Structure 1
Amino acid sequence: MILIIGAGLSGLLIGYHLKKQDIPFKILEARDRVGGRINTIYGPNYPPIEMGATWFTHQHKQLLSLLNELEIEYFEQFMDRTVFFQAGSTSKTQTIEIPPQAPSFRISGGTAHLIDTLVKKLDKNDILLNQTVKHLKFKDNSVQVIAEEVIEGTAVVLAIPPKLWANRITFKPELPINLSEIAKQTHTWMEDSIKVALSYTTPFWQENNKPGTLFSQSGPITEFYDHCNHKRSKYALCGFMNSALKTLTASQRKSLVIEQITAVFGLKAKDFITYEECVWSNDVNTFEPSEVYPHQNNGNPIFRDAFFDGKVFISSSEAASEFPGYMEGAIRSANAIAKKIKER
């Protein structure tokens, strides 16, 4: 049996591949939900709100292939040619025209629609939630995973960010020193991000012929985009907040956001249905403090090796040889590891 640590996109996709090959497996997830850094908020009166992974492009061919295989639709992100721009805290907000952009896309029904579809391809007992893995013990012909439960298998897949397993899981015998050091110095995507979104009963910006796009060098919001659903029947604006604001309280951040969007979009911006934010550094299953620079060691070749005589495989977005950090990277990594497991 293959033991997969992590029920994010990479871990679930490996499970999906193994299921098709009738290779037994279990997925252990520390959270009380699946999806990892894919986190979509749903409600009756607003569109799917993405607090995690959101966009992809034509370059992300293995993601597009998976969506087609699973018959999941996607749509082009609406992008204004004229956008709001704030050069600094003392500068007036301008409207400027930007050159044509390569299209980006979002998954119809929310990014979590991909996660939910993969989960439906598995059996309920294939995934164990609330299982924080603390120890891995290797024997001659097996590996023992010690979490809230103790499970033994033939091999294990580390499908969580490298920094997490390197710092939080005890390996017996210990990890090779070079692998451990590189993993501890690998940047985790989203770990410093703050996503913010506000939903509305109408697309007031569109009705007033104003852009739904904002780029700001002063913040608190640094990027803001039209986040309406694919039918454009439910309405929202969504983007990123300056990560330095994670030291403030939620109410302080909210006040700053409302002040900014009112100044930029007008008084109607105050008439929101919901305000949502996600400070990813507050997520213990994403954030691990370290002194690393953005993208450091993402895609490092060492992550594509097998360890402990083929009992340990590494699969995550950060481990991918191409597009590390993106959903495409998570998928490429999962596809490669599933192929290795099948061959073995």
Structure 2
Amino acid sequence: MILIIGAGLSGLLTAYRLKKEGIPFKILEARPRVGGRINTVYGKDNTPVEMGATWFGAQHTYLKALLEELGIEYFEQYMDGTVFFQPFSTSPAESIQIPSQPPSYRISGGSSNLINTLYQKLDEKDIILNQSVKEIKFHNNSVQVITNEVFEGNRVVLAIPPKLWAKKILFEPNLPENLISLAEQTQTWMEDSIKIALTYKQAFWQQADLSGTLFSNTGPITELYDHCDHERSKYALCGFINSSFKQLTYKERRAKVIDQIKNVFGEKAEDFIDYEECIWSKEENTFEASDIALYPHQNNGNPIFSKSFFDDKLLISSSEAASEFPGYMEGAVYSANITAKKIITANVDYRK
């Protein structure tokens, strides 16, 4: 039995690969939902908006291969029309030409389409939600994972950000000091991000030859993009606001966001259906305070995370642990593929 900690992209994909080989597993997830930092929210008119991971590029070949394997479509981020830039709070937004860049892509039906597709290919009984892991004990021939219950297996996979397991889980025996120290100083991607999205009855920006794209130095919004669905039948704008605005109340933050987009895009921007936001630093299963300030992607992909511990009973698999594209969906897929391959190979050797 393989015990997988975390039902994000890495954990679910690891499980999917194991299931195809007939290797038993259980996923233990602290949240009441699957997906981790992938979280597509559906408002009153069922428009999918991303509160978590959203974009990927042509260079993200493992993610693209997985989408093709599962029969999930993806589409290019809409960027046609005028782009706005706000350099100073004292000056209005100005239209700019942005240099030609490789396109970004989004998953049709929302990023959670990938999560839900993987989830549906697993047995529901093998994924246990609301299981916050407190302790992991390694014995000669087994591993115990302790939540409010005790789960026993022969291997455990840590499919959550390193800082979380380093600071929240007790290990017996202790993990190597250098591993814990490095994990505590590994930045969790998006841990201090604030995502916002507004849905509309029409893509009023497209009708006015605007791309829906805004870059701002003044805030609260720092980046905003067209967020219509693949068919362009559901309409939204989605982006990031400066993390310092988490200090404000929801009402204050929302009012400032609306005021900014109205100033940039005109009165029609105020006529929205839904306003959604996610402050990731308030998500206890994503955010854990750092002892020292960490820079983006600090220690992501460190070679130590590719090692196994306690006679191969402990494996590390998460986006931050990936040696390629760590911190992104691509990293989560890469990490899961590598981890599953290690377990499958060991299982074959064991059976011989």
TM range (shorter): over 0.9
Match of 2:140 in 1: 140
Match of 2:52 in 1: 52
Match of 2:87 in 1: 87
The two structures have a TM-score, normalised by structure 1, of 0.99
Q: Percentage identity across aligned positions? A: 67
Give the Å deviation of 1:45: 1.5
Q: How does 1:163-174 map to 2 (within 5 A)?
A: 163-174=163-174
Pairing 1:342–2:344 present: yes
Give the Å deviation of 1:208: 2.1
Match of 2:210 in 1: 210
Give the aligned residue type for 2:259.
Answer: E
Give the Å deviation of 1:43: 3.6
Mapped partners of 2:281, 2:217: distance in 1 = 21
Secondary structure at 2:83 match in 1: strand
Match of 2:105 in 1: 105
Q: How does 1:305-316 map to 2 (within 5 A)?
A: 305-316=307-318
Contact 2:187 2:299 in 1 (8 A): yes
* Unaligned runs of at least 5 residues, structure 2: 347-352
**Structure 1 vs Structure 2 CA RMSD:** 0.9
Secondary structure at 1:302 match in 2: helix
Say how many residue pairs are matched: 344
* Unaligned runs of at least 5 residues, structure 1: none
1:155-186 CA-partner distances (Å, limit 9, x unpaired): 00000000000000000100100000000000
Mapped partners of 2:80, 2:264: distance in 1 = 15
Contact 1:47 1:236 in 2 (8 A): yes
Pairing 1:37–2:42 present: no
| Of 319, 335, 339, the match for 1:317 | 319
Contact 1:57 1:105 in 2 (8 A): yes
1:257-278 CA-partner distances (Å, limit 9, x unpaired): 0110010000111100000000
Match of 1:189 in 2: 189
Match of 2:350 in 1: none
1:9-60 CA-partner distances (Å, limit 9, x unpaired): 0000000000000000000000000000000012452421000000011100
1:212-240 CA-partner distances (Å, limit 9, x unpaired): 11000111000000000000011000000
Mapped partners of 2:289, 2:187: distance in 1 = 10
Instruction: Indicate how the Cα distance of structure 1 residues 83 and 46 shifts in structure 2: closer, same or farther if over 3 A, else same.
Output: farther
Contact 1:81 1:99 in 2 (8 A): no
Give the aligned residue type for 1:302.
Answer: I
Secondary structure at 1:240 match in 2: strand
Give the aligned residue type for 1:137.
Answer: K
Pairing 1:267–2:267 present: yes
Give the aligned residue type for 1:267.
Answer: E
Secondary structure at 2:181 match in 1: helix
Match of 2:349 in 1: none
Q: How does 1:238-249 map to 2 (within 5 A)?
A: 238-249=238-249
1:182-201 CA-partner distances (Å, limit 9, x unpaired): 00000000101000000000
Mapped partners of 2:209, 2:155: distance in 1 = 57
Contact 1:216 1:222 in 2 (8 A): yes
Runs (4+) of structure 1 moved beyond 3 Å?
Answer: none
Contact 1:46 1:235 in 2 (8 A): no
Give the Å deviation of 1:81: 5.2
Give the Å deviation of 1:82: 2.8
Give the Å deviation of 1:88: 1.4
Mapped partners of 1:274, 1:92: distance in 2 = 26
Pairing 1:332–2:334 present: yes
Give the aligned residue type for 1:163.
Answer: K
Instruction: Indicate how the Cα distance of structure 1 residues 63 and 320 shifts in structure 2: closer, same or farther if over 3 A, else same.
Output: same
Mapped partners of 2:295, 2:179: distance in 1 = 18
1:274-293 CA-partner distances (Å, limit 9, x unpaired): 00000000000000001222
The two structures have a TM-score, normalised by structure 2, of 0.96
